[in-house]
Structure 1
Amino acid sequence: MRDTIPRDKKRDLTSGSIAKTMLLFALPTLGSSVLQSLNGSINAIWVGRFLGEEALAATTNGNILMFILISFVFGFGMASTILIGQAIGQKDTVMVKRTLGTALGSIVPISMILAATGWLLGPLLLEILGTPSSAFDLALTYLRMIFIAMPITLTFTLLMMALRGTGDSTTPLWFIALSVAIDLILTPLLIMGIGPFPEWGIFGSAFATATANTVALVGMITTLYLRGSVLALNRSDLRFLRPNRDILKSMFSKGLPMGLQMIVISSAALTMLSLINREGVQTTAAYSATQQLWTYVQMPAMALSAAASAMVAQNIGANQWDRVSGITRWGLIFNIVLTGSLIGLMTIFDKPVLSLFLGDDSTALPIATHIQLMATWGFLFFGIAQVLFGAMRANGYVIWPLIVMIISMYPVRLGFAFGFYSKLGSDALWLSFPAGMMATAIMGAGLYLHGAWRKGKVLPPKEAAQITEGYRAHGGCNACCRDYEPTTAWERSEESTPVAHRS
């Protein structure tokens, strides 16, 4: 008989109304994304207004490197979320703790190595990015502070994703809100040295973000223990911080392709930007303003994708495959409603919204409204693909979605932009975005309907059972096994049987 999961803030995603459950999960996730994006935009305003263009360029270069690193952790965290979600569906507390312990026991040492390496190689990394010389010293200061804070940032990200795997998307929202509030208050104080605070300039901006994340992380961990959360590792659970080889292998084999998807998207975006830059500074400015809109248009799709992934993972764990199709269907419906509504609003109010970034009299404003009209509708198909990918990755199906993303970003999007430029001019660039998104949705639908994703295994059930039963035999009670340190033989061998309880 499996352990009973503690009554914390987790949400059971395996019963009740699918539509209601999905909305209650997706809306806090959407709120988290909005808060983080607004925080980034406001911090950019502080830096740009008070420290100048060189400082703003410095933060941009540092954030590019941060995004690349977060991309890999995103994949690793999503793999952990899938494992945790399936274990929650099976009501297997031990597997949840084992998975989180393996994730933390791996990512924390790796992030420390990254922090030290990044500090030493910071100048080389900025040279590779081609950072302007006028912004180089500022960028190096900012980048080194980012690397110092790397263990905190990545652990915070991992724990938020693990919470969502348990069905709790509300707790991450509250602690992101706390982090954003602290960051927004500290950033101007430390940039300008207001009152008793030191005037640290760009270092103050990075330090404020690191401090905010640290406070939020401590608060989140404290909350997990106070609630008796399934994710709280007690004294007898600390052995789980020694990574399990099978779980770690599963995390990397499934997580790396998911992280690479974000890298593929970023690299294609950089290539497109180089093409757009050829159209002149006005067009580049117009495109940059339109991208601000796109940041928010794609948020419902990402939130629904996360909801679909967590819900499908728990229902697979509970062997309730009959709900999986319903989860995907409702995800697609909500995408059409939410993303479609945003696209409609952007189309109606595009000029006043874009003028916030460009100004009412900007010569780039008509270009921006044209770009928005030509390309933004494609995000409806982007949302369809993300919901389908979210459902499929819940069972560890990640290689083919990565291949689909590569095809859509390069042969389709960039091929369209290059191939039709002679006939359509700059419109070929804008239409290449919906062309790539439509291709992703069509191929994603083919994978969902005909792919082998339903047959996948994140961790073989027999191995999962051995991990659980082995723990109960050796470490599952505090009365007689508190000081026992298990070997990994029973974790690796499919033929091993648990050793009897010691007296």
Structure 2
Amino acid sequence: MRRAVSEFNPPQNGNPTNSPAANPLLTGPILPILLRFSLPNMVAMLATALAAIAETSYVGQFGAPALAGMALVFPFVMLQNMMSAGAMGGGVSSAVSRALGAGDVGRANVLAVHALWIGITLGLFYMVLMELLGPTFMAILGGKGEALAQAVAYGEVAFVGSVFVWIVNTLSSVIRGSGNMKVPSVTLFAVALAQVLMGGALGLGWGPLPQWGMRGVAAGGVLANLCGALFLWSYLSSGRAKIQLQVRRTTLDRKHLIDILRVGAVACISPLQTVLTILILTRLVATLGTQALAGYGIGTRLEFLLVPIAFAVGVASVPLVGMAIGAGQIARARKAAWTAAAVATAVLESLGLIVTLAPDVWSSLYTQDPSVLASAASYLMWAGPFYGLFGLGLSLYFSSLGAGKAIGPVIAGTLRLLVVALGGALLSYWQSPAWMIFALVGAGMAVYGLSTVWIIKITPWGEATRPRE
């Protein structure tokens, strides 16, 4: 597809406004662009997190078994979102932005179609996997009785919509790769709002609607993502976007699939590591009693709101890094990565220190039980100071995807998983107190952040090329 005339650098007319050098993402000041990109992403990610919290509040009205069922199915919902939006989505944004940075819009258009088919295929695979084996997975996690039945009821409906989730996140990533953060952010915000409204209406039976319980709450998410998928598909096909989705005119080519998958497929290992780390820690803390588990749950709930901040900054760096790599501006790509890392670290470390010094500011929102508050305070005292390093690693993870170098952050995630797994085994053998497990959480975050920095420093991102005239 290199034969297609580039919108950025057409060889015939030499219009300077269309050259890569005129692209503001390749010439403008990095920090203002990064902050402008991060804010809409942050709003959209926080809206998605709040939608999940709203769903939990609806499910709470169905009783304790439904809440327990939601806890069983939630890791698989989270894994799907992390893989489609962050990992494979990062690979998609990386490929598109590198093509645009090289001045090849035709190739970027072709990559968008290949990304769509990858998203559809993986969405269908995830749907079939969870519909067939979801009950078994949730039983392995300890689900039984009514809790397992409620989890299965939610999953049977929710995972029918997996393909819509993958399409929404894939097409959002295509648009982000072009440097447009507004459209995907507004779309994801609208999807989250629709999920809250439709999930409540169908689950709780608002107005004349019947009360469908867990299935109704799940159906709200399916319908919301269906609407989001249709809108983004229409937007990219309409000619209004920088990237054009020309499905019928594009033939699948193995080299374009590989360009996306060589980053996205490797990056998908990272969400698996994250979920496995959470499961190991949850199992460790659960052996220490209800109060310890409740305190741990309050702490991790805060992290569920902090992660979107690092995600927003990291995703904002992908087009900056990717276009710079495509244009051969290696120094600018690295500067964008370190700038994003500094912003994410500063924000998350500030919030981490606040809850370390005043844990009840957060914990008292959920409980007044003195023993649970004490457990949550212990968790935040050991984990809070390391939130900045966690944000550092997560931001650099996305910047690495923009550079097409996914393996480094995956190695860092593996080191974190090993620290938690081996440390957890020793602490379990020694029957250690809760604070030592909480300290292990902080140690894992520190290992992840610092090892990511070291790996990125020693990983070459390509060779610089002379800018085009």
- Aligned-pair CA distance for 1:129: 3.7
Distance (whole Å) between structure 1 residues aligned to residue 395 and residue 192 of structure 2? 28
Instruction: Name 1:90's counterpart in structure 2.
Output: 102
Could you tell me which of 55, 60, 63 is aligned with 2:71? Answer: 60
- Aligned-pair CA distance for 1:336: 3.5
Distance (whole Å) between structure 2 residues aligned to residue 416 and residue 111 of structure 1? 35
Instruction: Name 1:282's counterpart in structure 2.
Output: 291
Distance (whole Å) between structure 1 residues aligned to residue 57 and residue 400 of structure 2? 39
Q: Highest Rg: 1 or 2?
A: 1
TM-score (norm 1): 0.82
Instruction: Name 1:34's counterpart in structure 2.
Output: 46
Distance (whole Å) between structure 2 residues aligned to residue 75 and residue 125 of structure 1? 22
Letter in 2 for 1:415: L
> Is 1:268 equivalent to 2:277 in the alignment?
yes
Q: Residues 350 and 89 (structure 1 numbering): CA distance in 2 closer, same or farther, change over 3 Å?
A: same
Instruction: Name 1:3's counterpart in structure 2.
Output: 6
Cα deviation code 1:22-67 (max 9, x no counterpart) = 101112112121111111011101111x211222222332332233
Could you tell me which of 88, 102, 106 is aligned with 2:114? Answer: 102
8 Å contact 2:330–2:463 — kept in the other structure?
Answer: no
Distance (whole Å) between structure 2 residues aligned to residue 69 and residue 390 of structure 1? 17
Could you tell me which of 332, 338, 342 is aligned with 2:341? Answer: 332
- Aligned-pair CA distance for 1:248: 1.4
Instruction: Name 1:211's counterpart in structure 2.
Output: 223
Aligned positions of 1:93-132 closer than 5 A? 93-132=105-144
Letter in 2 for 1:238: R
Aligned positions of 1:399-478 closer than 5 A? 399-410=407-418, 412-419=419-426, 422=430, 425-454=433-462
8 Å contact 1:96–1:230 — kept in the other structure?
Answer: no
- Aligned-pair CA distance for 1:95: 1.0
Q: Residues 156 and 378 (structure 1 numbering): CA distance in 2 closer, same or farther, change over 3 Å?
A: same
128-137 vs 75-84, greater mean Cα deviation: 128-137
Instruction: Name 2:262's counterpart in structure 1.
Output: 253
Q: Residues 206 and 371 (structure 1 numbering): CA distance in 2 closer, same or farther, change over 3 Å?
A: same
Distance (whole Å) between structure 1 residues aligned to residue 56 and residue 271 of structure 2? 23
Distance (whole Å) between structure 1 residues aligned to residue 214 and residue 70 of structure 2? 8
Q: Residues 84 and 352 (structure 1 numbering): CA distance in 2 closer, same or farther, change over 3 Å?
A: same
Distance (whole Å) between structure 1 residues aligned to residue 148 and residue 185 of structure 2? 35
Could you tell me which of 194, 201, 206 is aligned with 1:194? Answer: 206
Q: Residues 138 and 320 (structure 1 numbering): CA distance in 2 closer, same or farther, change over 3 Å?
A: same
- Aligned-pair CA distance for 1:279: 1.2
Q: Residues 109 and 330 (structure 1 numbering): CA distance in 2 closer, same or farther, change over 3 Å?
A: closer
Aligned positions of 1:337-348 closer than 5 A? 337-348=346-357
Which runs of 5 or more residues in structure 1 are unaligned? 457-503
- Aligned-pair CA distance for 1:85: 0.8
Letter in 2 for 1:4: E
Which runs of 5 or more residues in structure 2 are unaligned? 10-16, 18-22, 465-469
Distance (whole Å) between structure 2 residues aligned to residue 172 and residue 196 of structure 1? 33
Q: CA RMSD in A?
A: 2.6
- Aligned-pair CA distance for 1:407: 1.5
Distance (whole Å) between structure 2 residues aligned to residue 189 and residue 430 of structure 1? 39
Q: What secondary structure, in the 3-state scheme, does the structure 2 residue paired with 1:233 have?
A: coil
> Is 1:351 equivalent to 2:360 in the alignment?
yes
- Aligned-pair CA distance for 1:140: 2.1
Instruction: Name 1:393's counterpart in structure 2.
Output: 401
Q: Residues 385 and 126 (structure 1 numbering): CA distance in 2 closer, same or farther, change over 3 Å?
A: closer
Instruction: Name 1:238's counterpart in structure 2.
Output: 248
Distance (whole Å) between structure 2 residues aligned to residue 118 and residue 424 of structure 1? 36
Q: What secondary structure, in the 3-state scheme, does the structure 2 residue paired with 1:33 have?
A: helix
Instruction: Name 1:181's counterpart in structure 2.
Output: 193
Instruction: Name 2:13's counterpart in structure 1.
Output: none
Q: Residues 332 and 402 (structure 1 numbering): CA distance in 2 closer, same or farther, change over 3 Å?
A: closer
Distance (whole Å) between structure 2 residues aligned to residue 136 and residue 264 of structure 1? 24
Matched residues, number: 447
Distance (whole Å) between structure 2 residues aligned to residue 363 and residue 117 of structure 1? 41
- Aligned-pair CA distance for 1:135: 2.3
Q: What secondary structure, in the 3-state scheme, does the structure 1 residue paired with 2:281 have?
A: helix
TM-score (norm 2): 0.88
Distance (whole Å) between structure 1 residues aligned to residue 238 and residue 272 of structure 2? 38
- Aligned-pair CA distance for 1:332: 3.1
- Aligned-pair CA distance for 1:432: 1.3
Q: What secondary structure, in the 3-state scheme, does the structure 1 residue paired with 2:25 have?
A: coil
Letter in 2 for 1:85: S
